[in-house]
Amino acid sequence: MNRNSVLSVCLLAAIAFSVITIANAVAPNPGHTWAEVGDVAVTVAQGGTGASTLTANNVILGNGTSPVGFVAPGASGNVLTSNGTTWTSATPTNYRTLITLGADVPSTASTAFQDITGLSFAVTSGTIYRWQATILYTTSAATIGIRVAPNGPAFSQNAYITETVISKTGSATAGWHNGQTALQSGTVSSASISTTGGNLITATGIYKPSANGTFQLQFAPETATANGVVVQDGSTLEWW
């Protein structure tokens, strides 16, 4: 047997040994199955949160340690705000609240101010409120005017303006504007647009109560006629 034959035999023997080794090899033991391990808390250093479970809808909050912090959802309508070092859940600044009248409010046989039941909100002493109302109303006669004004606790600041038109012609002189600084005040508009509907009066103001209580929007008809003025559903009051 020459030298080349010897080398060939050795090579074939090596190949055969490798095939036998691979065929008999046992897969490596990973150590544990997922069922055996259970929940795994991956640390912050490893790119995780350091927590084994996460509560639904919580926001993850980094704090430089393990585990990290979490922020639970706040009240409906709240947002996350920063105080310079941490995040907190709070009501948005200048967040407006709108309420809509769900049913007509007819006037009684009186010219006194009457509540527009449903258009009101609670106020806190010392807080400045800005408010705006859009009032849709009908009258029993075209000559019946209306007043709209707020009522509430004593105040340190109060000013509001009410406006309506008194003609369908579009005349520049057919508008009515009234500015007041007292509760339940104002002069009556001289006339309405129509007797069947389509009358609109807007009011806007600033109010700072000096006691806790309720801000209540009111109206007063020009004549002491039951149903002389009817504030209609869909009218709104907004404050912020």
Give percent above pLDDT 70 in the chain.
57
pTM over 0.75: no
How does pLDDT run across 114-150, given as a tens digit for each residue?
Answer: 999 999 999 999 999 999 999 999 999 888 889 999 9
Residue 49 pLDDT: 65
Token couple for 98: 């709108």
Instruction: Tell me which H or E stretch contains 192.
Output: none
How does pLDDT run across 173-209, given as a tens digit for each residue?
Answer: 667 889 999 999 988 886 556 556 788 999 999 999 9
- Rounded to 5 degrees, φ, ψ at 124 are -115, 135
Residue 206 pLDDT: 98
The answer to whether 180 touches 113, Cβ cutoff 8 Å, is: no
Q: What separation in angstroms does the CA of 203 have from each of 139, 161, 199?
A: 18, 6, 14
Residue 7 pLDDT: 59
Q: What separation in angstroms does the CA of 91 have from each of 80, 103, 119, 122, 132?
A: 9, 29, 22, 16, 20
How does pLDDT run across 224-238, given as a tens digit for each residue?
Answer: 999 999 999 999 999
Does 170 score more than 90 pLDDT?
no
Phi-psi region of 196 (alpha: psi -120 to 50; beta: other; left: phi over 0): alpha
Measured CA to CA, the distance from residue 106 to residue 224 in angstroms comes to 12
Measured CA to CA, the distance from residue 233 to residue 105 in angstroms comes to 8
Token couple for 190: 């001289």
Residue 96 pLDDT: 92
Give percent above pLDDT 90 in the chain.
45
- All structural domains of the chain, each given as residue ranges with its CATH number in brackets, are 37-93 (no CATH), 97-239 (2.60.120)
Q: Which residue has the tokens 């003609």?
A: 167
Instruction: Tell me which H or E stretch contains 13.
Output: helix 3-23
Residue 33 pLDDT: 57
- Rounded to 5 degrees, φ, ψ at 22 are -65, -40
The answer to whether 89 touches 105, Cβ cutoff 8 Å, is: no
Measured CA to CA, the distance from residue 232 to residue 141 in angstroms comes to 16
Which range, of 87-91, 109-113, 176-180, averages the lowest pLDDT? 87-91
The predicted model gives 218-228 an average pLDDT of 94
